Amino acid sequence: MSTTDTPEPTPQKRGRVNRRGFLTGAGIAGAGLAVGGAAGAGITYTATADTRSDPATETVEFYGEHQAGITTRQQNSLVFAAFDLKPTTVAQVETMMARWAAAASLLAQGKPVGPVESRPMAPPADTGEAFDLGPNRLTITVGFGPSFFDDRLGLAAKMPEALRPLGQLAVDTTIDPSISGGDICVQACSEDPQVAFHAVRNLARIGRSVITLRWLQEGFGRASATSTDQVTPRNLLGFKDGTANIKAEEPAVAEKFVWVGEETDQPWMKGGSYLVSRKIRMHIEAWDSDDISDQERIFGRTKDSGAPLSGGGEFTDPNFTVKGTDGRTKIDRFSHVRLAHPDSNGGAQLLRRGYNFTDGIDVRTGTLSAGLFFIAYQKNAHEQFARIQNNLAQDALNEYISPVSSSLFAIPPGLTGIGDWYGKKMFGYQG
Ligand SMILES: C=CC1=C(C)c2cc3[nH]c(cc4nc(cc5[nH]c(cc1n2)c(C)c5CCC(=O)O)C(CCC(=O)O)=C4C)c(C)c3C=C
Ligand SMILES: [Fe+2]
């Protein structure tokens, strides 16, 4: 039977997806079975990156303790989508999550979610634009926003305390609610932008009876490093970004700062994380007319090597007490690096995974509309992101940036294998 011949799955019991409902989840769930043999624990790559000539054939393991796309060696392209629920039932959301899990396991291997050519009189199961492109290290990371747990689905008791909204932070005077928040998020990262786009488009298509797109953001180049074997990239202000980031090769640090542990009030979140996204516009024309010494003062690092102004190389720890001949600290007290540093924030750290973006120009002013789509993962966004962000209220960089969107999502743990799906434990099933 062609996978497209199978009707839309209908859970047999209200509020539950039974096994048959899952297995008959159209082409997607059935096709997911075909890749089961490739499932394994942990996130591994088929090749090491810097020696490769063609990343198109590389895959990132889909199943594991944690979802891929967090400590995964950061890819070059991002498509991030937030969705709102249509009027729907828990059973329909569960079915969509099961179909997404099966589809995502195929996409991560560079496979379509169903036939591209099937019955002539029916739309194809897969939209086709990634057909010849290869997996390109695609990762798909799915999460739930605070609004998912309001009274519509009756899941309020499942909302983690750490997912309460961040509220208005010190610098949040320019946030646009229409490009913030959402019930569900999908982060698709890939070495090829079309592969990431294809993933989000096809997940949206699979879920079209249950969800509607709220906002979508593309990122065209990584603005962080999540592995010690990656060159630190540059943000659109021209500075190396990601030098002092948490790296995949530091699992103990990730355990302490990224992965939700026993402390959670919601056991279904164990092994998960909390994602904060912030779309931050840069006032690029003003920055480009600032002199280099002021730019370096603002960050507390040099522009070429990324070394702290207190001395050493890129990876030397900054020293905030060392003084110059003028008697002032070499790293300005209002510099970004000093205010964001763990020493200024009770030891708090983040795993940053941001991307450079452009939306073209701001037609009102004729200036570039571009900046950083900041993404951070952490154990608790109130104790980590919000604490650091509030400390950055005095940041010298604020003259050149404006946050325009802000979101918080709970990212459940990784999928254990075929038959597991996003939030399965949260919905009340055994994993
Ligand atoms: C609240 C968290 C942060 C926001 C928002 C943020 C915005 C932002 N950052 C840069 C550029 C750089 N950031 C750097 C370091 C850095 N930034 C944060 C947090 C936020 N940044 C942290 C925790 C750190 C690490 C501090 C440390 O431990 O030393 C750097 C320096 C290089 C590096 O370590 O990555 C740059 C450059 C921009 C342009 C920006 C908003 C547009
Ligand atoms: Fe920063």
- Closest protein CA for atom 1 of ligand 1: 389
257 lines ligand 1 (CB under 6 A): no
Cα 170 to Cα 386: distance, rounded to the nearest angstrom = 9
Task: Reply yes or no on whether the pLDDT at 10 is more than 70.
Answer: no
Q: Where are the alpha helices (DSSP H) in 316-416?
A: 336-340, 385-391
**Confidence label for 292 from pLDDT (cuts 50, 70 and 90):** very high
Average pLDDT on 289-298 reads 98
Helices (H) and strands (E) in the chain, counts: 9, 10
Instruction: Tell me: pLDDT of 183 over 60.
Output: yes
Q: Quote the tokens at residue 130.
A: 């990634």
Using one digit for the tens of pLDDT, what is the confidence trace for 31-72? 333 333 333 333 333 334 445 567 899 999 999 999 999 999
Give yes or no for residue 96 CB within 6 A of ligand 1.
Answer: no
pLDDT at 324: 96
Q: How far is the CA of 322 from the centre of ligand 2 (A)?
A: 22
Give residue 364's pLDDT.
Answer: 94
User: Euclidean distance between the first and final Cα of the chain, in Å?
Assistant: 29
CB atoms near residue 344 (< 10 Å): 17
Residue 313's alpha-carbon distances to 240, 298, 341, in angstroms, are 12, 18, 17
Among all bound ligands, the one having the nearest atom to the CA of 300 is 1
The complex scores an ipTM of 0.99
Cα separation, 188 vs 154, in Å, equals 28
pLDDT at 55: 87
DSSP, residue by residue, 256-294 = HHTS--TT-S-GGGTT-EEEEEEEEEE-HHHHHTS-HHH
Q: pLDDT tens digits, residue range 199-253?
A: 999 999 999 999 999 999 999 999 999 999 999 999 999 999 999 999 999 999 9
Q: What is the pLDDT of residues 375-402, one digit of tens each?
A: 999 999 999 999 999 999 999 999 999 9
196 by Cβ neighbours in 10 Å (0-12 / 13-18 / 19+) ranks as buried
Measured by CA distance, the residue closest to atom 17 of ligand 1 is 340
| Segment among 116-120, 270-274, 308-312, 372-376 with least mean pLDDT | 116-120
Do the Cβ atoms of 118 and 125 come closer than 8 Å? yes
Rounded CA gap, 68 and 321, in Å? 39
Please indicate whether residue 396, judged by its CB atom, sits closer than 6 Å to ligand 1: no
129 CB burial (10 A radius; 0-12, 13-18, 19+)? middle
pLDDT tens profile 350-375: 999 999 999 999 999 999 999 999 99
* Residue minimizing CA distance to atom 18 of ligand 1: 340
Using a pLDDT cut of 70, give the percent of the chain over it.
Answer: 87
Q: What is the pLDDT of residues 161-179, one digit of tens each?
A: 999 999 999 899 999 999 9
Residue 391 CB: number of other CB atoms within 10 A?
A: 18
Kindly indicate the confidence band of residue 11, based on its pLDDT and cuts at 50, 70 and 90.
very low
E strand or H helix at 143: strand 139-144
Q: What would the pLDDT profile of 312-337 be if each residue is shown by its tens digit?
A: 999 999 999 999 999 999 999 999 99
Q: How far apart are CA 368 and CA 282, in angstroms?
A: 9
337 lines ligand 1 (CB under 6 A): yes
Ligand 1 contacts CB of residue 3 (under 6 A): no
**pLDDT value of residue 54:** 79
